[in-house]
Amino acid sequence: MAEHDLAPHELRVVVAVEQARSFSGAARDLGLTQSAVSHSVRGTEKKLGAVLFERGRRGAVPTPAGERAVAHARRVLRLLETLAAETRAAAAAEAAGGGPCAPDGGTVAGPLRIAAFRSAALHLLPPALAALRARHPGIEPEVRVVRELGRGTAGEVADGRADIGIATIGTSSPIPRGLVGGVLVEEPYSFVHPAGHPAPRTLPLVDWAENCTSYTRDWWAGQDWIPRATTRTEDDGAVLAMVSAGHAMAIMPALSLTGAPPSVAVVDLGPARPTRSVGYVTTSEQAGSQVVRALIRELRALRAQP
Amino acid sequence: MAEHDLAPHELRVVVAVEQARSFSGAARDLGLTQSAVSHSVRGTEKKLGAVLFERGRRGAVPTPAGERAVAHARRVLRLLETLAAETRAAAAAEAAGGGPCAPDGGTVAGPLRIAAFRSAALHLLPPALAALRARHPGIEPEVRVVRELGRGTAGEVADGRADIGIATIGTSSPIPRGLVGGVLVEEPYSFVHPAGHPAPRTLPLVDWAENCTSYTRDWWAGQDWIPRATTRTEDDGAVLAMVSAGHAMAIMPALSLTGAPPSVAVVDLGPARPTRSVGYVTTSEQAGSQVVRALIRELRALRAQP
DNA sequence: TCGTTCCATGAGGCGCGCTCATGGTCCGGC
DNA sequence: GCCGGACCATGAGCGCGCCTCATGGAACGA
């Protein structure tokens, strides 16, 4: 049995090839020769005993086995970064604080890649990140907005492209296998319409692609009226703009309504209102890392004091 | 900035040094020279910019930074194993099933390191592992017997030396922080004595080091007799041997009595009998992995059909 | 047919991780 | 006190593995 293990540079090559969907492109990205990439991939495939990429005229496309390997490779690389950052931080804390030094919760440092859906990135993360940076200046957060469609932010985490994802969690989109997570806030939907409109129910309802209608469907079923028409827009920002301009009404979650202009009237839907769960998703490895835990702590703290 | 990353063999060295608490010991364990270990650790420390081990006359002891680094190193290595195993499994599934291939939950394969206390390893695991191998031939289980003393099997799991531990779970030994687990069986203690003995209560009581007396203490308190004498032996196997030979009586859990010879009489203690909980302990990371879940499933299936 | 754009392959240089050999330091024993 | 042993450190040298350079083959479009 080949006890050969995969070196980090081999993992990087495989990740780059998947991203570039081409050997020569990956070589350019990595500052290597196309030959080096070809040799490296071949060696990796030999060690694993599996073909990772289907080579074609138009580049290289990963096989199912390759997809898996790449996703894990990204996670390994990320964990190596974490190892280095946390070890350095621990050493620095030890040198500075001297003495027996707090075993945990000392200095936290290193990069933190966050994937979030739009309204969370705009309204939920900024205060949390401000508090995080204030407490731990060494952390370097990086937020990427990901549309909550398909595999959504959880997919980014599963594929190793993010350390933690801010996602909507529900029965129709549970936490995927192999990932861990938790609910941060249960936020209510409200009825929004142009302020001062005499008959908002006569306006067309607008919806947006990311909005999971399953949250509001039950509520609609219990109503004694249905909207005149339903149109669909790009995102919740566009919905808010249309409502603000007086052209539509909508059912929107609280997070999308943060900082809504006064031209938008927000009406609480009462005790039977629909709600959605917003939570975090991360990998089991990262769940143990200091940076991820620190962010979750700040997010939890916000819940009490928004 | 040194963009150098840590190679798997460097991680292995660091882990081995932590385990052996000595450079030369780690070298022996790895089949390397003491010099190689010294060079490797020094290089790793240089790359990380942190001292990982305090070298002394009596070996090497990890610094706080070293502890962190080792813990992460074990995770990285484990994740690399998972990468290889899952990639191979995906490739095999692809080759066999052909077609678009199930994205998940298909073939389960890879190493599975189990720590168990003696009687569980002897009587609980074999049927579960047999069923596991039958269902998933790709899994490579490895059972290590660990005395349920001190940190016990849970300690093995916490330290990354096992993926799952079979442990006794109770108020005096709860599931440690940071680990997850569950109860598999609630098993009763029985009174055992030499078959045909006219007055078994006159025999001395034997106990063994691993047996947590807290389980049986309450029961003894409710009895109207106390044993003539109490002696302590190595393990439950020795206890059974002494009872079988006619020299003693004992209070033993069902698992230790599996396959007891006919020379041992087992007496049910009735509805007020003491019981103990046997369960599994694993890390939150491993809890999500396919192999661990598969084993737990088999163990649960056994509960119904022992 | 030629040019372009992919990936594959063979030969050679060179860095890195290994071993061997040796040295330094602290300890306990006679 | 001095030696022997158990540690780890360090320098020299060797060989394997990874990279580059150069070249080849295959597919596609003009």
Name the residue closest to D20, CA to C1'.
A33
- Report the pLDDT value the prediction gives residue B1, as an integer from 0 to 100: 46
Report the distance separating Cα A15 and Cα A20, nearest Å: 9
Q: Are residues B111 and B218 in the same domain?
A: no
CB-based contacts of B66: which residues, under 8 Å, 6+ apart? A87, B14, B18, B50, B51, B52, B53
- CA distances (Å), B67 to each of A136, B17, B78, in order? 21, 11, 17
**Are residues A173 and A152 in contact, defined by beta-carbon separation less than 8 angstroms?**
yes
The conformational region for residue A98 under phi > 0 = left, psi -120 to 50 = alpha, else beta, is left
Q: Which of these three, A100, A135, A155, is where a domain ends?
A: A100
* Closest residue by Cα to residue B267 from B202, B190, B200, B194: B190
Tell me the C-alpha distance between A148 and A151, whole Å.
7
- Nearest DNA or RNA nucleotide to A21 (CA to C1'): C6
Q: CA A92 – C1' D8 distance (Å)?
A: 25
CB–CB contact A79 B84 (8 Å): no
Higher pLDDT, A260 or B93: A260
Residue B57 Cβ < 7 Å to strand D: yes
Helices (H) and strands (E) in chain B, counts: 11, 11
Chain A residues whose beta carbon lies within 8 Å of the beta carbon of residue B75? 79, 285, 288
- Comparing CB atoms, the residue among A47, A87, A179 nearest residue B288 is A179
**Residue B101 banded pLDDT, cuts 50, 70, 90:** very low
pLDDT band at A131 (very low <50, low <70, confident <90, very high): very high
- The reply to whether A134 and A202 lie within a common domain is yes
Separation of alpha carbons A248 and A191, rounded Å:
11
A144 pLDDT above the threshold of 50: yes
Q: Does A57 score more than 70 pLDDT?
A: yes
pLDDT at residue B95 in the model? 60
For strand D, is any atom closer than 7 Å to the CB of B177?
no
Decide which of A237 and B209 is more confident: A237
C1' nearest to CA of B45: which nucleotide? D9
CA of A211 to nearest chain B CA: how many angstroms apart? 26
How far away is chain A from the Cα of B70, in angstroms, using its nearest Cα?
9
Say if residue A225's pLDDT is above 70. yes
| Same domain, residue pair A254 and A301 | yes
Q: Yes or no: say if A240 and A252 are a contact pair by the CB < 8 Å rule.
A: yes
**What tokens does A178 get?**
């192999």
Q: What average pLDDT does chain A have?
A: 86
* DSSP tag of B124: I
Q: What pLDDT is stored for residue A104 in this prediction?
A: 40
State the nearest residue by CA to the C1' of D27.
A57
Question: What pLDDT shows up at residue A99?
Answer: 40
B68 contact residues in A (CB cutoff 8 A): 83, 86-87, 90
User: Residue B236 above 90 pLDDT?
Assistant: no
**Nearest CA to B300 among B275, B279, B277?**
B279
Asked whether the beta carbons of residue B49 and residue A88 sit closer than 8 angstroms, the reply is yes
Query: Residue A204: pLDDT above 90?
Result: no
* Partner-chain contact A64 B94, CB within 8 Å: yes
Residue A142, burial from CB neighbour count under 10 angstroms (0-12, 13-18, 19+): exposed
A90 and A112 co-located in one domain:
no
CB of A43 within 7 Å of some strand D atom = yes
Q: In whole angstroms, what is the distance from residue B243 CA to residue B207 CA?
A: 11
Whether A117 has a pLDDT exceeding 90, the answer reads yes
**What is the helix (H) or strand (E) element at residue B303, kind and residue range?**
helix B290-304
Residue A123 and residue A94 share a domain? no
How high is the pLDDT of residue B107? 61
Q: Is the CB of A59 under 7 A from strand D?
A: no
Which band of pLDDT confidence, cut at 50, 70 and 90, is reported for residue B280? Answer: very high
CATH of the domain at A44: 1.10.10.10
Interacting residues of A139 by C-beta distance below 8 A, sequence separation 6+: A108, A109, A110, A111, A112, A132, A133, A291, A294
CA distance B76 to chain A (A): 6
Cα angle vertex A129, ends A127, A131, to 5°? 70
B127 touches strand D (CB under 7 A): no
- What is the arithmetic mean of pLDDT over A277-290? 88
User: Cα(first)–Cα(last) distance of chain A, in Å?
Assistant: 56
User: In this model, does residue B214 exceed pLDDT 50?
Assistant: yes
More confident residue, A114 or B112: A114
What sections of chain A are H helices per DSSP? 8-20, 23-30, 34-48, 64-97, 118-119, 125-135, 152-158, 214-221, 236-244, 284-287, 290-304
A123/A266 same-domain check: yes
| Of A40-54, B141-155, B168-182, minimum mean pLDDT range | B168-182
Nearest alpha carbon to residue A18 among A57, A52, A43, A46: A52
> Closest protein residue to D28 using CA and C1' atoms?
A57
pLDDT above 70 (res A26):
yes
Q: Which of A100, A129, A145 is the last residue of a domain?
A: A100
Q: Is B177 exposed, middle or buried (0-12, 13-18, 19+ CB in 10 A)?
A: exposed
Supply the CATH number for residue A140's domain: 3.40.190.290
Q: How close A79 comes to chain B (CA, Å)?
A: 6
DSSP-derived pairing of the beta strands B179-194 and B275-283: antiparallel
Separation in Å: D10 C1' and A10 CA: 31
Residue B2 clears pLDDT 60, i.e. is over it: no
Q: How many angstroms separate the CA atoms of A22 and A242, rounded?
A: 43
Note whether A68 contacts B49, CB cutoff 8 Å: no
Please give the angle made by the CA atoms of B261, B264 and B265, to the nearest 5 degrees.
130
Of A208-222, B55-69, B158-172, which range is least confident? A208-222
Please check whether residues B95 and B239 belong to one and the same domain: no
A69 to chain B: which residues are within 8 Å by CB?
Answer: 83, 86-87
B282 touches chain A (CB under 8 A): no
Name which of A50, A72, A90 is nearest B68 (Cβ-Cβ).
Answer: A90
For chain B, the straight-line distance linking the first and the last C-alpha, in angstroms and rounded, comes to 60
Say yes or no: B288 contacts chain A, CB-CB below 8 A: yes
The encoded tokens of residue A189 equal 């939907």
A5 touches chain B (CB under 8 A): yes
Q: Which residues of A touch B105 (CB under 8 A)?
A: 177
pLDDT confidence band for A304 (50 / 70 / 90)? low
Mean pLDDT of A30-40: 89
The answer to whether residues A246 and A295 belong to one domain is yes
Question: For A227, left (φ over 0), alpha (ψ -120 to 50), or beta?
Answer: beta
Work out the average pLDDT over A187-199: 91
Residues of B whose CB is below 8 A from A93: 64
Q: Is the pLDDT of residue B106 over 60?
A: no
Residue A290: both structure tokens together: 């200091």
Given B99, B130, B154, which residue is the final one in a domain? B99
Output the six-digit token pair for B161. Answer: 């030396």
SS3 label, residue B280: strand
In three-state secondary structure terms, A183 is: strand
Predicted pLDDT at A130: 92
pLDDT at residue B287, as a whole number:
66
Chain A and chain B share a number of CB contacts under 8 A equal to 135
Give the residue whose CA sits closest to D18 at C1'.
Answer: A36
Nearest to A82 among B72, B104, B289 (CB): B72
User: What is the pLDDT at residue A268?
Assistant: 92
Residue B142's domain is classified under what CATH number? 3.40.190.10
Which range, of A94-98, B32-36, B244-248, B293-297, averages the lowest pLDDT? A94-98
Shortest CA distance from B291: residue in chain A = A178
Q: Which residues 6+ apart lie within 8 Å of B148 measured at CB?
A: B117, B167, B168, B210, B212
In chain A, residues with a C-beta closer than 8 Å to the C-beta of B67 are 90
**Does any strand D atom come closer than 7 Å to the Cβ of A6?**
no
Give me the residues paired with residue A185 across strands.
A278
List A141's β-bridge partners, or say none: A112
List all residues of chain B from 98 to 137 with a beta carbon under 8 Å from chain A. Answer: 101, 103-105
Residue A12 has pLDDT above 90, yes or no: yes
Decide if pLDDT at A43 tops 70: yes
Nucleotides of D under 7 A from a protein CB: 6-11, 18-23, 26-28
Residue A111, pLDDT > 80, answer yes
B1 CB near a chain A CB, below 8 Å? no
- Please spell the DSSP secondary structure of B82-107, one letter per residue: HHHHHHHHHHHHHHHH-TT--SSSS-
The answer to whether B96 contacts chain A (CB < 8 Å) is no
Per the model's pLDDT, the better-predicted residue between B137 and A82 turns out to be A82
Which of A64, A69, A90 lies at the smallest CB-CB distance from B65? A90
Each residue of A69-83: pLDDT tens digit?
999 999 999 999 888
Q: How many domains, in total, are found in chain A?
A: 2
- Residue A21: the pLDDT is 92
Mean pLDDT, chain B, integer: 83
Q: CB atoms < 10 A from the CB of A235, how many? A: 18
Q: Please give the pLDDT value at position B37.
A: 92
Kindly state whether residues B126 and B270 are assigned to the same domain: no
At A282, the pLDDT band (50, 70, 90 cuts) reads very high
Across the range B126-132, mean pLDDT stands at 90
CB-based contact, A48 to chain B, within 8 Å = yes
- pLDDT of A145 reads 92
Copy the structure tokens of residue A147: 């549309």
What's the confidence (pLDDT) of residue A154? 93
Write out the residue range of the structural domain in which residue A59 sits. 1-100
**CA–CA gap between residue B159 and residue B73 (Å, rounded):** 11
On whether both B206 and B260 belong to a single domain, the answer is yes
Considering the domain architecture, whether residues B209 and B86 belong to the same structural domain is answered as no
| Residues A57 and A161 both lie in one domain | no
